[in-house]
Amino acid sequence: PLVTSKEMFRKAYEGKYAIGAFNVNNMEIIQGIVDAAKEEQSPLILQVSAGARKYARHIYLMKLAEAAVEDSGLPICLHLDHGEDFEICKSCIDGGFTSVMIDGSKFPFEENITVTKKVVEYAHARGVTVEAELGRLAGVEDAVKVSSKDASYTDPDQAVEFVERTGVDSLAIAIGTSHGAYKFKGEPSLDFARLEKISNLLPEFPLVLHGASTVLPEFVAKCNQYGGKIDGAQGVPEEMLKQAGKLGVCKINIDTDLRLAMTASIREHFAHNPGDFDPRQYLKPAREAIKNMVKHKINAVLNSSGRL
Ligand code: G3H
Ligand code: 13P
Ligand code: NA
Ligand code: ZN
């Protein structure tokens, strides 16, 4: 069945591993991810952004997620990523999602608490889990652009107060990651001292790391080799993600690495097969590329293989 994040996070916290939360936009992406999780017998979160809902439409993603559960036999959590207000959260809860994120990180502290509490109240009454965010990541999302000077790291004491007052199930924190393919200008670095502090103040409470793609060099190189122009891309090194997983991070969000794996595969396909025009000819290897990349994440980063 579609499940909430509750039990997944409890086990992940205890076992010191993390659940991968992968952004989905269409059937091939969903199949690639779910096939990987099935082969690895790994718990899985599929997450849908406002942009994904606009692109594919709610009902298609909902039915694809249901098909994934039925086809794979896996417990899967279907989560709204970066819900910007109560309305979109309500719409996803009413429409069958088992988890939602209310991202009030752009608001002042008290307003973030108010909107988060409202979503928690509505969601919990219907058996749905809620993620919130405190502190601001830099980077670009469909609807949100945050410059690095407006980004700010999560304050540990505020995090405790926020969790207590909202009753939220998990919290996304800002410790130096950002969305997209250009996360660091120089050497990558995350504020692990801050993460450790937050984690110690909130024992057994699941933390969430957004902007957690590694921007795997192999895919950037392949894109560039076959006509792309992606310069200066850099993500979070795998070692750092593993460390975060040991410090209370139970959910690791990955979108950019899916995009790069898929695009690299399609670019390579057309470079070698310029005459092809049946979408199945290039989407089949693209789906396979996603599957292999996700299997790699499950083993090399999340440590979630065999944890059903
Ligand atoms: O957090 C952002 C995710 O990568 C989703 O991106 O809003 O372009 O669908 P999107
Ligand atoms: P990446 O851009 O690093 O993949 O982050 C995705 C994310 O945080 C979705 O909420
Ligand atoms: Na999210
Ligand atoms: Zn995010």
- ipTM, 2 decimals? 0.98
The Cα 76–Cα 271 span in angstroms is 36
Question: Would you call 166 exposed, middle or buried from its count of C-beta atoms within 10 A (0-12, 13-18, 19+)?
Answer: buried
DSSP 236-265: --HHHHHHHHHTTEEEEEESHHHHHHHHHH
Domain extent listing, the chain: 6-302
pLDDT higher than 70, residue 147: no
Q: Could you confirm whether 94 is annotated as catalytic?
A: no
Q: Which amino acid is at 256?
A: T
Closest Cα to atom 6 of ligand 1: 141
Distance from the Cα of residue 68 to its chain's centroid: 18
* Fold entry, domain 6-302: TIM Barrel (3.20.20)
Please tell me the number of the ligand nearest to residue 212's CA. 2
Q: What is the mean pLDDT of residues 239-265?
A: 98
Q: Per residue in 153-174, pLDDT tens?
A: 999 999 999 999 999 999 999 9
Q: Which atom, in ligand 1's list, is nearest to the CA of 49? A: 9
CA 157 to each of CA 172, 274, 275: distance values in angstroms, whole numbers, following the listed order: 15, 57, 59
Q: Is 52 in the pocket of ligand 1 (CB under 6 A)?
A: yes
> For residue 109, what are its two tokens?
């502290």
Predicted local distance difference test score (pLDDT) of residue 167: 98
pLDDT above 90 coverage of the chain, percent: 94
Contacts of 269 (CB under 8 A, 6+ apart): 276, 281, 282, 285, 286
Per residue in 175-221, pLDDT tens?
999 999 999 989 999 999 999 999 999 999 999 999 999 999 999 99
How far is Cα 127 from Cα 130, in angstroms, rounded to an integer? 10
Q: Could you read off the pLDDT of 21-58 as tens digits, one per residue?
A: 999 999 999 999 999 999 999 999 999 999 999 999 99
- Output the CA 182–ligand 1 centroid distance in Å: 14
**Tell me, what's the pLDDT at 137?**
84
